[in-house]
Amino acid sequence: MVQKYVTIVTGASRGIGKGIALRLAKEGHDIMLFGRDKTALEKVNKEVRVLGVKTEMFLGDAVDPKFVNESVSDIIKTYGRVDHLINNAGMGILKKFVDSNLDEFKKQIDVNLYGVYNFTKAVIDNMIANRKGSIINISSLAGKNAFVGGTIYGATKHALMGFTKSLMLEVREYNIRVAAICPGSVNTDFFIDKDIKPDLDRILRPEDVAEAVVTIINLPIRALISEIDIRPTNPK
């Protein structure tokens, strides 16, 4: 019998989050979709349901702790547990530091860190009680490297890597696996309003990141991949 999982995917309206939701649905996971764009999230919800799994749709902001706590509480009441949390919601404003402002800094901190904190805090007690679970944070190679225009965005992703590594050490005794996936450039809406314009045919696709998520989850519980870097093979 195929193991059924209850999996939360944040930022599921499009891009990497959508790709992860669809890929995990093909693995038989019941998918809890979180996002802010109602029209886009409803479309993803329909696509996931076609794959024969249960879905729930939660429209709101990852930065709002009340929304996150109430939504996760409803999931646990309905399904009894959360097996996997995919912290994918994120955003980036790529500017040189001298051209940045405090509002942009706070916005990136809120989405890239505070949102991760809210969801992780909401699921962790249930995972500890069940002595199992996976928390996968979608970070970036910007969390390990430096580049011009990445001063603030990179700082949030470096912080996310520190959070992920420390949390992994704190909860592994409960058979909870915490991992980071660090993609290079991915062909999503991320680059629409950016000055950086990679060759979209050569960079990664959302499904490439989704395969890394599946790899981490499908390992035997005794094994943990704590970090995966994914780069375009030949981006130029």
3-state secondary structure 119-175: HHHHHHHHHHHHCCEEEEEECCHHHCCCCCCEHHHHHHHHHHHHHHHHHHHHHHHHC
pLDDT by residue (tens digit) across 51-93? 999 999 999 999 999 999 999 999 999 999 999 999 999 999 9
For residue 6, what is the enclosing H or E element? strand 6-9
Structure confidence at residue 33 as a pLDDT band (50, 70, 90) = very high
Q: Please give the average per-residue pLDDT across 41-52, as a whole number.
A: 98
pTM here? 0.92
Structure confidence at residue 193 as a pLDDT band (50, 70, 90) = low
pLDDT by residue (tens digit) across 146-190? 999 999 999 999 999 999 999 999 999 999 999 999 998 887 665
**Residue 235: its pLDDT value, please?**
78
- Domains of the chain by range and CATH? 6-230 (3.40.50.720)
Structure confidence at residue 220 as a pLDDT band (50, 70, 90) = very high
Determine contact, residues 118/65, Cβ cutoff 8 Å. yes
Rounded-to-integer distance, Cα 183 and Cα 203, Å:
10
Please identify which of the residues 5, 79, 114, 153 carries the catalytic annotation.
153
pLDDT by residue (tens digit) across 101-117? 999 999 999 999 999 99
Catalytic status, residue 153:
yes
Rounded-to-integer distance, Cα 22 and Cα 103, Å:
34
**Residue 1: its pLDDT value, please?**
39
Is the model's pLDDT at 19 over the cut of 60?
Answer: yes
- In the predicted model, what is the mean pLDDT of the chain? 93
